[in-house]
Amino acid sequence: MKHQGLGTAAAAVGAVLFLGAAPAMAASAEVLDAGGTPVGVAVGAHGTAYVGNYGTAGGIRVIPPGAGRPSRTLSAGSNVSGVALAPDGTLYVAEQDSATGRTVVGVVPAGAEGVARSIPVSRGSHLIATGPDGTVFVPNAAERTVSVIAPNGSAVDRTVTVGANPVEVAVTKDGTAFVTNQDDGTVSVIPAGANTVSRTIQVGSTPGKTENPHGIAAGPDGTIYVTNISSSHVAVIKPGADTVAYSIYVPGGPTEAAVGPDGTLYVAGALNRALGVIPPGATTAGPSIPTENIPGHLAVAPDGTIVVASPGNGTGNGSVARYGSAAAGAASAPASAASGSPQPPEDAGFRRDPSR
């Protein structure tokens, strides 16, 4: 699947999305020399970043904490769309096998220099996630399913039917998986070890109508955060709830989300080139952090450092930026924007490439 830009539908609402934005905080980004088309990103327990290359060359760039460029590249197939780390250090990579052309989840054991074995999955791009026990979740957008791979498994263990166009998965500490169904405007909930969905949560303001939920992240306390792209809101779901507790306006067409170790939520805004910052427990966004390029996927290191992958236009001109925890802390002050700030119009036709 080729990378696409945000499209004319998203651009049409861009001017409105800037209205009512919380002020941006000046933050110096350290732009890293990663090369290729960086998409998936994961950060290990010691702060090392692993960045997948969605180009034909493929591979996983390994960037140690504090380094300005990758120390090495792990061998992997092409079109790396998803990267996820298990607690034991095993790295899982959604990729296209160079020899067979099949879509697989490559397994890189801790300390290895590349993919040691591959697990066949459905064709396409996959934004994968791992659970606390090492279970791997693979959303299959075209099939309305999520494939589940058991810890250290060699094949798909089971397949769970979810909603239309599942794109991302977040897993809480108890192993419950939450899946964004972009075309349905819902989140499917899969309990640990289950073969079926236990409940479905509407995350848009109008039942039966999607606001394009895409990114999803789980907080340390089990709170779930869902980015609704076309309405520029983040839906907040409390642990065990069947409905959204409240929504937070985050300007710029929020696409991806990640939670820091202190519970701070960071949200990538594709149209305003910024990271929205929501302090723990806040109901409004604080000042944002401007980014060097259009932010894509992001991850937060244990020390609070934020790593952001920006794919560029898909021709090898992407970049990776790193923001220190001090910059993030400065941006997490309470928002000063008035509660009556203009809201963006919905754009039900908005779509993102799942590999983004």
Q: Please report which helix (H) or strand (E) contains residue 7, including its range.
A: helix 7-12
Please give the single-letter amino acid code of residue 52: G
The list of the chain residues with pLDDT below 70 reads 1-29, 314, 326-356
- CB count within 10 Å of CB 116 equals 12
Give, as one character, the DSSP assignment of residue 190.
Answer: E
Residues near 203 by beta carbon (within 8 Å), at least 6 away in sequence: 180, 185, 186, 187, 211, 213, 226, 228, 235, 237, 244
pLDDT of 326: 53
pLDDT of 202: 97
pLDDT of 340: 34
Q: How far apart are CA 104 and CA 85, in angstroms?
A: 16
Please give the single-letter amino acid code of residue 100: T
Q: Which two tokens stand for residue 163?
A: 């909603």
Question: Would you say 25 and 291 are in contact if contact means Cβ atoms under 8 Å apart?
Answer: no
pLDDT of 212: 97
- pTM over cut 0.85: yes
Residue 281 backbone zone (phi > 0: left; psi -120 to 50: alpha; other: beta):
left
Please give the single-letter amino acid code of residue 80: V
